[in-house]
Amino acid sequence: MAAYEPFQLSAGVAMKRTPQVQHADGLPSKVSIYEVGPRDGLQNESAIVPVEVKAHFVRRLVAAGLQSVEVTSFVHPQWVPQLADAEQLIDALDLTMAPRMPVLVPNVRGLDRALSKNLHDIAIFASATESFAQRNLNRSLDEQFTMFEPVVAGARRRGLWVRAYLSMCFGDPWEGDVSVAQVVKMARRLLDLGCDELSLGDTIGVATPGHVEALLTELFAAGTASGQVAVHFHDTYGQALANALTAMRLGVTTIDSSAGGLGGCPYAESATGNLATEDLVWQLQGLGIQTGVDLEALVATSVWMAEQIGKPTVSRVVSALAG
Ligand code: MG
């Protein structure tokens, strides 16, 4: 028997930089990636990034082919100092450069700021659990809807596109398990306000594929169209890609991710948070699913951004291709 020899690329041999394409049954032909790096990513990084770097980051993401890029947040700078320059960033950008460039809007005051900047798209951020509503919004589960109702109504009246995030859909750090029935109820209430899209958030990254299937099946059975639903998985326990694949098999065609995996886990300093856009794009490319994203351009963007924040990327694909 031949001695075992570890496989090694000899010096100067370039690694294959794209996956072999093999289509699989029961998957969409096209997926919209909703890029959250500039907002959800940077708000959860400790580095404060200068506004011109943020503007360049957004432009590079759009140039890499991302069609939906969440730009920033109008949450009070006291809560999110990383995004205190929201207005300056918007002034530095042409918000018609991509089809969707939403800004997170916490309340009516935030909506007024969005309207004064002539934004076309906004996002609101709701909780599926009582504990997180209290801690993050300082409101009860019911009171959050009282806060969002005039925001969504005002935005719709002016023709704005509205996304609603629903957080803690698969588990809550204070409450533990969260029932599928509870999440479906909160999801329906948000959609019934008139939101165009609902993003189901696995805020602490604990979801596994069976749980994703159970929630989506119940949500669709409650009259929700798959086209209204996006999924926002965190890779804290390494499950994000399996969960994304499960969601696609059930008909979801919008997936949230963050370039380079920017944005650590908000509840565990050293852990991974957002699914990396590059990791998602690699899987979609291998499955022959169209995204419109230029992976090389995206990897270059994330390598550059990692230098800006002084922290290595957590994306496996960025590490493999740029290493
Ligand atoms: Mg996130």
Domain boundaries, the chain: 26-322
Q: What is the pLDDT of residues 68-115, one digit of tens each?
A: 999 999 999 999 999 999 999 999 999 999 999 999 999 999 999 999
Q: What is the pLDDT of residue 12?
A: 60
Q: Which amino acid, one-letter code, is at 94?
A: D
pLDDT confidence band for 4 (50 / 70 / 90): low
Average pLDDT over residues 303-313: 95
Residue 15 has pLDDT above 70, yes or no: no
For residue 3, report the distance from its CA to the centre of ligand 1, in Å: 47
- Strands of the sheet containing 68-69, edge to edge, are 68-69, 32-35, 254-257, 229-232, 197-201, 161-167, 121-127, 103-104, 72-73
Fold of 26-322: TIM Barrel (3.20.20)
The residues annotated with a catalytic role in the active site are: 265
Q: What is the pLDDT of residue 112?
A: 97
For residue 52, report the distance from its CA to the centre of ligand 1, in Å: 23
Average pLDDT over residues 233-243: 97
Q: What is the pLDDT of residue 323?
A: 72
For residue 202, report the distance from its CA to the centre of ligand 1, in Å: 8
Structure tokens at 187: 């999801």
Cα separation, 209 vs 242, in Å, equals 6
Residue 238 has pLDDT above 90, yes or no: yes
Lowest mean pLDDT: which of 32-36, 179-183, 267-271? 267-271
Residue 255 has pLDDT above 80, yes or no: yes
For residue 41, report the distance from its CA to the centre of ligand 1, in Å: 7
- Indicate the average pLDDT of the chain: 94
**pLDDT > 70: what percent of the chain?**
94
